[in-house]
Amino acid sequence: MSETPQDYLALPVREFLAATAARAPTPGGGSVAGVVGAAGAALAQMALNFTRGKKKFAAHEAYYGHLAGRLEKAREMFEMLVADDVAAYSLYQDSTRLADGLEKEQAVQLALAAAVNVPREAAKAAVALLEDLREFAGRCSPMLITDLLGGAALAAAAARMSDYNVRVNVPNLADRQAAEDLRTASAGDLARALAILAEIEASCKAVLP
């Protein structure tokens, strides 16, 4: 069996980048997508933390309190998906070591399902984060709007990377209808993410022409 997956988020940034660059399967695109999404949520949190408490935005304090909880959960979700992606690859490695036969076929299909589920969850988290940022854009301090936009851009990037990972894995699923449904759902989430990003950018043109 594979060893316990490494906690890549515990690494210093430079070491994480070196591990990503190394000739090793993990951390790979799925893990990086999780980190990108978490960074997007973190930027949004910073924008919120510098906005709330200001007299100019006092009317939105209740909303800010609600948003703070959602952004924290979003970041935690993306961080969890980094570990889930590494675990999914470990499961796939284990499945390929089995002797050919029904047991191996079932194990491989289970591992592929996990490999698809992780990016699907990441895409959903990215869309949810973007929806929150769209609502926050009109109540964010203009001084922090570029950080909000950066968080939105990273969330959209996480959705795009997740779609890549779904598309590369679904052709190997035995259930062809499930594969097509997953591909369609992933494409839909990506389109929604990009559309929301465009809305956020348009809403910020007064601050960032």
| Chain segment 110-135, per-residue pLDDT in tens | 989 999 999 999 999 999 999 999 99
Residue with tokens 């980048």: 17
- Is residue 84 in a domain? yes
On whether residue 133 sits in a domain, the answer given is yes
Residue 165 forms part of a structural domain: yes
Local structure of residue 2 (DSSP, 8 states): P
State how many domains the chain has. Answer: 1
Question: Looking at the domain assignment, is residue 4 inside a domain?
Answer: no
Give the separation between CA 197 and CA 120, rounded to whole angstroms: 19
Predicted local confidence at residue 3, as pLDDT: 55
Q: Token digits for 160?
A: 């795009």
CA geometry: angle at 53 spanning 51 and 57, to 5°? 65
Radius of gyration of the chain (CA): 19
> Which residues have C-beta within 8 Å of that of residue 134, sequence separation ≥ 6?
152, 196, 199, 200, 203
pTM of the model: 0.93
Q: Which of 67, 180, 36 is nearest to 134 (CA)?
A: 67
- What is the spatial distance between Cα 82 and Cα 27, in angstroms, rounded to a whole number? 8
Residue range of the domain that includes 71: 27-203
Q: Classify residue 204 by its DSSP letter.
A: T
- Note the helical H segments in 11-60: 13-21, 29-51
- How many C-beta atoms surround the C-beta of residue 139 within 10 A? 15
Q: Is the dihedral of CA 14, 38, 164, 111 positive or negative?
A: positive
The CATH number of the domain where 33 resides is what? 1.20.120.680
Kindly report the backbone phi and psi dihedral angles of residue 115, in degrees, each rounded to the nearest multiple of 5, phi listed first.
Answer: -65, -25
Cβ atoms of 177 and 138 within 8 Å: the answer is no
Q: Is residue 14 part of a domain?
A: no
Structure tokens at 25: 């399967």
Residue 115 lies in a domain: yes
**Which residues of the chain, if any, have pLDDT below 70?**
1-5
Q: Is residue 58 part of a domain?
A: yes
Q: What is the pLDDT of residue 97?
A: 86
Confidence (pLDDT) at 98: 86
C-alpha to C-alpha distance for 14 and 102, rounded to whole angstroms: 43
